[in-house]
Amino acid sequence: MGNADTRNKPVTAIIVGAGHRSLIYASYAEKHPDQLQITGVVEPDPLRRSLTAKRFNIPDLCCFETVEQLVQGSIIADAAINGTMDELHVQTTIPLLKAGYDILLEKPIAISEHEMLKLVQAANHYSRRVMICHVLRYAPFYSEIRKTVAAGEIGTIVNIQTAEHVSYHHMAVSYIRGKWNSLENCKSSMLMAKCSHDMDVISWMSGAQPVKVSSFGSLTQFKPENAPEGSGYRCLEDCKIEAACTYSARKHYIEQGRWGSYVWNNDHLGINPTDEEKISLLRTSSPYGRCVWHCDNDVVDHQSVIIEFEDGCTATHNMIGATSRPCRTLHIIGTKGEIQGVLEDGYFVIRHPDARVGHEYSEKRISVHVTNDSHGGGDWLLVEDFVSMMRGEAPSISSTSLEKSIRGHQIGFAADISRLEGRIVNITNP
């Protein structure tokens, strides 16, 4: 089944780790069953496994607790959608490759460069295909800019500037209260957990090998010594300023209804507690009910990265946590012009020098379709490209094959070493 000709029938896939991201990718099968079908699930949580099986009509014999159980039997799909937590990516993917599955793998690829290269070697050894979920490449905003760059409209790239502004509520739910709040819990830095997309975009736009990286950043805001007077340890239990606090768990997760797929267990599979149950959880046991100044977080809340490429191009990326407005910005300057835009705005601007009397530059605005999800509409376009690849069709300009995704990760891993050790880090071609 896994090696069958899939050009004229749906590609089949197993969900490995039935979390929020995996289910977003797998939901493509519900809208396009002629292209993708979900035929199995690997998930250690029995309720989550059962709910996923019910949603996709997966028989019991194709439901597994572990990858080890899955690979002991015969192959039951063409591919696996691996959305496990960061530290599990490599250790779960290699047995799948060995068993004969191609992989759609959530980012980051791995938690270290050594692990990443181990996965590359395994994919090559077993002759399997791996695509990384760098969904920003598929967002129309970025793919249209990449096409413009490839067409030579702004000449040779001299400098790339990107920034990601992580909203105050996203910062709180993921990187202060949540699963990605510490190296001990997640094994990934905030830069790699949140901005491997952005490192990938920089590398993809440049097209050159990165050679030097420097980085600075720290945890500045969210620590006990900065807690406002009157704050407690839990928003709904002992906080005297909860009603006025920007980071109130009640405001974020009940009144605004944000981040349910993170805060309420199996919310993404249709399990939604009552408001009374939510209040009880936030008051007592839920990590999402904690004061943002009294958590066990240790990841940075802002970081800057400087990159030099082998062709002389330079780039910067700024990650700023707890901003008012979430957005991603991009500015590319070339020898013949420049491109600038904000993903969430739904357009970018192309400028060229204009030395005519009374002019300084010419400018044209390019509108692109943008959705209100966090990746600008790239999620399903990624899956569509994965299905095309599995059918043997030519990869798109956005292709996120494993070998094309390494450089951005190299930048991120080097940046974290630079930040911690206070030095410029050299990158070599793997």
Three-state DSSP class for residue 250:
helix
Residue 417, domain member (yes or no): yes
Which backbone phi and psi does 425 adopt, to 5 degrees? -110, 130
Specify the pLDDT at position 392.
93
The pLDDT tens digits of the residues spanning 85-98 come to 999 999 999 999 99
Please check whether residues 265 and 362 belong to one and the same domain: no
Specify the pLDDT at position 369.
79
Sign for the CA dihedral angle at 194, 198, 201, 207 comes to: negative
Domain count, the chain: 3
- Domain of 247, in residue numbers: 224-289
For 388, other C-beta atoms within 10 Å of its C-beta total 16
Residue 4, domain member (yes or no): no
Specify the pLDDT at position 372.
60
Please check whether residues 186 and 121 belong to one and the same domain: no
Please check whether residues 302 and 206 belong to one and the same domain: yes
CB 430 within 8 A of CB 121: no
Last residue of a domain, one of 105, 132, 159: 132
Q: What percent of the chain has pLDDT over 90?
A: 91
Specify the pLDDT at position 403.
92
User: Which CATH number covers residue 102?
Assistant: 3.40.50.720
Give the integer Cα–Cα distance in Å for 410 and 430: 9
Give the integer Cα–Cα distance in Å for 225 and 240: 17
Buried b / exposed e over 144-165, threshold 16 CB at 10 Å, is: bbbebbeeeebeebeebbbbbb
Please check whether residues 26 and 57 belong to one and the same domain: yes
Specify the pLDDT at position 268.
87
Residue 6, domain member (yes or no): no
CA 338 to chain CA centroid, Å, is 27
**C-alpha angle with apex 169: 221 to 237, nearest 5 degrees?**
80
Structure tokens at 278: 């939510």
**C-alpha angle with apex 1: 72 to 9, nearest 5 degrees?**
150
For 119, other C-beta atoms within 10 Å of its C-beta total 22
Please check whether residues 119 and 70 belong to one and the same domain: yes
Structure tokens at 49: 């496994």
Neighbouring-strand partners of residue 62: none
Please check whether residues 200 and 285 belong to one and the same domain: no
Low-confidence ranges of the chain (pLDDT < 50): 1-4, 6
The pLDDT tens digits of the residues spanning 35-72 come to 999 999 999 999 999 999 999 999 999 999 999 999 99
Amino acid at 398: S
Give the integer Cα–Cα distance in Å for 256 and 116: 38
Please check whether residues 18 and 83 belong to one and the same domain: yes
Which string of DSSP letters, residue by residue, matches 251-301? IIIIIS-TTHHHHSTTGGGT----HHHHHHHHHTT-GGGB-TTSS---S-S
CB 194 within 8 A of CB 277: no
The kind and range of the H/E element at 313 are none
Neighbouring-strand partners of residue 218: 302
Please check whether residues 218 and 318 belong to one and the same domain: yes
